[in-house]
Amino acid sequence: MTAAARPAAAPSADVPPADALPIRRVHLSAAGVSLVIDASGDRMPAIVHWGRELGTLTAQDAATLTEIAGPAITHNTIDVPLRVGILPQLADGWVGTPGISGARADGSAFSPLLTVRDLRVESSVGADGEADAAGSAADEPAAAADGTRTAAAEGFCETGAARVEIDLADESVGIAVRLDVEMLASGLVRVRAALTDTTEAATPGTDAARAPYVLEALTPMLPIPLDATELLDFGGRWTRERTPQRSPLVTGTHLRENRRGRTGPDAAHVLHAGTAGFGFRHGEIWAVHTAFSGDHRHLAERSSRGVQLLGGGELLLPGEGRLEPGGAYETPWLYGAHASDGLDGIARRFHTHLRSRPQHVDAQRPVTLNVWEAVYFDHDLERLKDLADRAAALGVERFVLDDGWFGSRRDDTSGLGDWVVSDEVWPDGLTPLIEHVTGLGMQFGLWFEPEMVNEDSDVARAHPEWIMAPSPDRLPEESRSQQVLNLAIPEAFEHVHSQMRAILAENDIAYIKWDHNRDLIEAATRATGAAATHAQTLALYRLLDALKEEFPDLEIESCSSGGARVDLGVLERTDRVWVSDCIDPLERQLMNRWTAQLIPLELMGTHIASGASHTTGCLHSLSFRAASALFGHLGIEWDLAHASAQEMDELRAWIALYKAQRELLLTGEYVRADRGEDSLWVYGVVSPERDRALYELAAVGRADVAPIGSVRLPGLDPARRYRVRPLVVGEAPAGLYWPAWAREGASTATDRIHPGISADPLVEAVELPGSLLVEAGVAAPIMYPESAVLLEVTAV
């Protein structure tokens, strides 16, 4: 196996032991978060504080912190204070989940004792997360101009956002590890590890000095205090991704393993541990996310010794971690987030980080029409041109042609893997449609499913050995009539790459919807039967990277049976995710609410559905469908030829509102209100300057009490005054009854005219102090279930 990045440095005889290193403790801090690393002694480096910012520390402070963080020695335990490192070791007395699980093929080297050989602080971290070299701890460090404080004689370094690189080794078993621990400007912490087999290849004709090393798991861990007593992560299924689930954090291991070969609709997403009853706006929380798009794991562990950890990494299938002499394996990044102000604080750290990347999308996200639910596989040029005309008249800015344009793909049973335009359906190629779309001022997008193959396809008939399978004579069970193409085989990779490159080079295509419609079951190289999910995931990344390099303006959406591949690994290479194949607005209220726990709204595809939901059969008003799609990257998934003139007018109004609010929606801070009554969800976006905000009040069920009471508007500046305006787009939702503050000339008599109908026009605005809006709130309107209204807030 080869690593995805540089391997750990091999140990050197002239590298000093840890106690001789100029830097043995490091204090990193950014955005209100501190992380203190202790690498003293001959033991695995440990994080002795991760949480609220500690302020300026001295070298003695850091040393004392290490001492007071160590537990007492109790009866029937090891005779030294338990030290749980970033990769917890059995050799240090840890009997929980090990940071390194593996051994040589003969069973030896199952319990390495890794010690520090070098430590480097990279004090200048670029926007892309790559650090500029600042020298080794083995060299005498100089004073830094960027605020880094280093006391060489006392072995202490204090700095802001920076990366710490630590080399460790156990020469007796031939293993070296490099740890990267990074504090980002957002206050996020991220950790990764690379393990190298430092043995040399045997000389031909002689016996190898050691058996190959077989790594089973490499799992970085972050410590959390015993104050965290409650867990929140996610389950779900196709069309209901990211369903929250809570549980107590008890002694033992809470383990979430994903073996789907993709992130999965039931992925943990973000694993949170927090103080009891934490909510959107309150509670101290620690959280982790494994940034990987294949098999992966998250875990929370509580030891009877009073230690609690959060961790995660790639889940390696049998044999995937086998290292040849000199070979290396590197984990994906494990991201850690801490916040003292609830779940919104955790989300804010992830959003801030993603928005700081140089490749991040801008706020002018084009309104998109995807034609799947309009035409499915029925590709008719005139019908599609008519649909494009209708879309352009509404203000749509991007037109996406979905599945069915290539090879023999007239339904979902054939053609996958043959990425050539169908002569049968498109005798003149895609050019007539593309020119029509771009002539209307819209971008053109196209659907691909590059990792998949139908057995009924030219490529599968020509190269059956490219299909992932456990043996040459047996295929996995089909799913959606398809199998998986092994992109780790160079010829298969080049087949897909060259065909996609040709389509993109020959046509004016601005956008790809990149789908992935099945789990990887028995995903192996067919010729050998060896597990290949790890290699397939890295090949996916290489393909995305290659296309991005060749077509730098191309935008790519990660779609995987809807929202089954939402993670920070794929989002390093793509520009948005499809939240779910279900765009029923009630279901999307839930999924959008929790997808945003990790990613900001501009990366979330949220489309206005047709009246009858494609996946649930439920009927909803246009106002609820549009309001549910507004907070995200807006699009439409609807056969506009079947929309009435009134619906087209209302749809046009919603698109105009989105464009007017787009800058706010896609650059502001996402906020959610805590409410004991969960039938009314209150959420919104507040501008960075806190001078504007847009809130949605969504009735997702029937209230236990009527009227519903007041709603607080989180995120505003308590010291400012604001104008609050009720906002109705198009036809008001049925059953909507605004309270007196929102109506012009409201009176007791008017209140009784007709329940559910407001006889008075809405007020232009009411002016209130921010402290009142944040702490007391305003009376909420009464609505039928599955309705929503908006409040626009502007600073005076």
List, by residue number, the catalytic residues. Answer: 515, 581
Residue with tokens 């335990």: 77
Residue 522: both structure tokens together: 């028995």
Q: Which helix (H) or strand (E) holds 117?
A: strand 115-122
- The candidate with the shortest Cα–Cα distance to 671, out of 699, 690, 656, is 690
How far apart CA 337 and CA 339 sit, in angstroms, is: 7
How far apart CA 272 and CA 246 sit, in angstroms, is: 9
Helix intervals (H) in 458-605:
458-462, 490-506, 533-550, 585-595
Q: How far is CA 31 from CA 35, 60, 132, 750, in A?
A: 12, 24, 21, 51
Cα dihedral across residues 719, 723, 729, 733: positive or negative: positive
How far apart CA 525 and CA 359 sit, in angstroms, is: 34
Q: In what order do the strands lie in the sheet with 308-314?
A: 221-224, 308-314, 296-302, 252-258
Cα dihedral across residues 249, 283, 627, 443: positive or negative: negative
CA end-to-end distance (rounded Å), the chain: 61
How far apart CA 234 and CA 424 sit, in angstroms, is: 44
Residue 102: both structure tokens together: 């593996």
Q: What number of other Cβ atoms are within 10 A of residue 12's Cβ?
A: 11
Residue with tokens 């009539």: 481
- The candidate with the shortest Cα–Cα distance to 274, out of 587, 604, 597, 590, is 597
Within 390-442, strands assigned E span 398-401
Residue with tokens 């916040």: 339
Q: What is the DSSP track for 590-649?
A: HHHHHHTTTS-GGGEEEEEEPSB-TTT--B--HHHHHHHHHSSEEEEES-GGGS-HHHHH
How far apart CA 331 and CA 172 sit, in angstroms, is: 23
HSE at residue 279, side-chain half, CA atoms within 13 A, is: 11
- The candidate with the shortest Cα–Cα distance to 315, out of 140, 537, 540, is 537
**331 three-state secondary structure:** coil
Q: CA angle at residue 637 from 661 to 685, to 5 degrees? A: 25
How far apart CA 662 and CA 655 sit, in angstroms, is: 10
HSE at residue 168, side-chain half, CA atoms within 13 A, is: 28
Q: What number of other Cβ atoms are within 10 A of residue 146's Cβ?
A: 11
